[in-house]
Structure 1
Amino acid sequence: MDYLVFLLFFLAAVVTVITAIKLSTYADALSEKTKLGGMLVGTILLAGATSLPEVTTSVSAVILDTPDIAIGNVLGSNMFNLLILASFDLYYRKRQILKDAAKEHFYTASLGLLLAATALLALTVKIDIEILNIGLDTFSILLIYIIGMYTITRISKNEPRVIPVPEVEDNTKLNTSAITLRRAIVGFAVSAVVIMIVGTVLTFTGDRIAVITGLGASFVGSFLIAATTSLPEAVSVLIAIQLRNYNLAIGSLLGSNLFNMIILAGTDVIYRQGPILSFVSPAHQITAGAVSILSVIVLFSLIRKRYGSPFTYAIPSILLILVYFISSYLIFVN
């Protein structure tokens, strides 16, 4: 009975949203009660936890011998994460959430662009060479990630901490001061586990929906499943913005994009037929190219000096949203 698949998919999505709210709240409490700032908590802890659905999805797809869904999920999630950032930036354009973003986000976005460009090159050239049972291409992605994260960590330690200007009390701002450090750690861990379990349910029901609707594996992985596994990021970012912890919100999305590239390398370890990027549809070149273009737009938004009115401020986000939907259409027709 097909309608039960859609119902289970919907219920899993609802549980994902509720859990992501808890996850983001505990992450904000951790950023307040530890020496880690919102940027580091968002880029490492929250990004890793909200990317757990992508882990279970891609691993399950490889086990089911559908590498197109595995790769499409990773690259599509990165596309969708940048869409989330642009959408919230556009909606909250009067707050100009990117205006006072920590400098470290520029380095994170730059690393994301480099990884996306490397993936695009690998998908285009398709080098059939393996190192330690993984493709040379994904091995290069893994190496770039390790060197990049090490560099960002070193730079972050040397950057002066920016103390935000106190804002007028906002009644809509959620209060996390009553959450103890121990409760925040336990709550964060439990929420992360729930996110991972529900992500698995989203994967299998999403795969079944793909069969029912007759959509191609590349499009399903890059759009439908990628969007659903990115629900935790969307909700977490919304809560972080409501908490006025903008660095946590930005770091969560940009860090999640970096973490997703590690998932891509991990799928290659599991895939036994050869370098996984050599066995997927050329349509993924569009996704990787789109992520690269979107990353350039985000970089511009982070480094620009003049912001002007809310409308002129929002122009890059509007452009990013347009590029996203044009890319999605191109993926669908291919």
Structure 2
Amino acid sequence: MVFLIFLIAVVITVVSATKLSTYADAISRLSGLGSLLIGTFLLAVATALPEVTTTVSAIYLDNPDLAVGNIFGSNHSNLLILAVFDLVFRKRKMLSHIHRQQRYTALFGMLMILITAIAIFTTVEIPFIGVGIESLLIIVLYLLSLWVIQRTAGAGEEEDEATEASREEEKYSMKHAVIGFIITAIVIFISGTALTFSGDEIAVITGLGSSFVGSFLIAASTSLPEVMTVWTALKLNNENLAAASIFGSNLFNLVILVVCDLLYTGSLLQAASMSHTVTVLLLLMNSILISYAVSSDQRHRFYTWPSLLIILFYVLTMLWLYIV
């Protein structure tokens, strides 16, 4: 029965995530807010909802390693998704053609990961709150990123988006798009949660619960919404929406980590295993690579080298998790 639930949840997640991107694309045009703002702070949060359930559940199970691993693993997977699609659509040179304002989002993500990496080694507790100072810094940076993107989004963005989409007759009204987005986001939250728990049960049933393969199954399950939203956005010729959803999801995942730190007694990162140091350092390397890819003017022949390195570092991360 659990296998049937897992397969049904996969189908529902794929279909819902596809519609979610379509509605987000329509909202970005109809509202005039642009793909950058919508992708970073609307679509990203919706696709990250399964991570909320998984990570908060880990805290109530008193398993800080699982909570921290879920966030780091999700961010690794998100950057992998972007790198793989960049290779698949390499002729379009997606990362060098997205709006230049995406570099701000990528930079904020890199800084937040750097703070998280430092906090694993050492932190300063904030009195009466019960969290480390890194949590406060992450929240400040997230709010600052919201302010920066809100201030800069829309300036010249429409010129970068595909002209074909702008010429098409709009299929949705604003009301239809917003209601559709909310409904599909709720469906993704439910189906993504079902994916997480049924996938975990399958791993236990098959004897893979404590193995690398079991962990990979859960990671792949919770990454399905991001995969489908990026794929749909690229089919709509909206590279900005695709990249913004990944960058925004990574930012929001770190906010989830802060929420879990508030729920956990003591410092969450200090309670986690030191084995996460290698994982977060490789994640920091991938964040630096993606920031470089977005910020630089890559017109040379070997355009795909940052994406290839991101995939390599992801593989090294998986090998490390398998070894330890």
Q: Determine if the TM-score, normalized by the shorter chain, exceeds 0.5.
A: yes
The correspondence of residues 88-167 of structure 1 with structure 2, limited to 5 A, is 88-125=85-122, 127=124, 131-156=128-153, 159-161=155-157, 163-164=159-160
The aligned counterpart of 1:83 is 80
Counterpart AA for 1:205:
S
Deviation at 1:155, TM superposition (A): 3.9
Partner of 2:280: 288
How far 1:331 sits from its partner (Å)? 1.8
Q: Determine the structure 2 residue equivalent to 1:26.
A: 23
Picking from 298, 306, 309, the partner of 1:316 is 306
Q: CA deviation at 1:160?
A: 4.3
Partner Cα distance (1:227, 1:54) in 2: 12
What is the aligned partner in structure 2 of residue 279 from structure 1?
271
- Correspondence for 2:225: 232
1:206 matches 2:196: no
Q: Is the 8 A contact 1:73 1:225 kept in 2?
A: no
Q: For residue 79 of structure 1, report the CA deviation from its aligned partner.
A: 0.5
Q: Deviations over 1:31-72 (max 9, x none)?
A: 121111111111111001101111111112222222222211
Secondary structure in 2 aligned to 1:307?
coil
Encode CA deviations 1:191-232: one digit per residue, 9 max, x unaligned.
0111111222122223334444354499966x4433321210
Distance in 2 separating the partners of 1:8 and 1:316: 38
Letter in 2 for 1:327: T
Matched, 1:262 2:258: no
TM-score computed with the length of structure 2 as normaliser: 0.91
Q: What's the offset of the Cα at 1:87?
A: 0.4
Is the deviation greater in 258-267 or in 128-137? 128-137
Q: Residue deviations 1:105-147, cap 9 Å, x none?
A: 1010000001111111111225555552333332332223223
| 3-state SS in 2 of match to 1:103 | coil
Checking the alignment, whether the CA contact within 8 Å between 1:47 and 1:256 is kept in structure 2 is yes
Indicate the residue corresponding to 1:301 in structure 2: 293
Aligned residues between the structures = 323
- CA distance in structure 1 between the aligned counterparts of 2:80 and 2:107, rounded to whole angstroms: 17
CA–CA distance in structure 1, aligned partners of residues 106 and 225 of structure 2: 20
Distance change in 2, residues 1:202/1:105 (3 Å):
same
Secondary structure of 1:98's counterpart equals helix
Task: Report if the CA contact (8 A) 2:47-2:225 is conserved.
Answer: yes
Q: 1:224 to 1:142 in 2, by over 3 A?
A: farther
**Unaligned residue ranges in structure 1 (runs of 5+):** none
Matching of residues 22-101 of structure 1 within 5 Å: 22-101=19-98
Which letter maps to 1:258? L
Cα distance in 2 between the residues matched to 1:153 and 1:294: 26
SS at match of 1:313: coil
TM-score, normalized by length of structure 1? 0.88
The letter for the 2-side match of 1:164 is D
Q: Report how far residue 10 of structure 1 moved.
A: 2.8
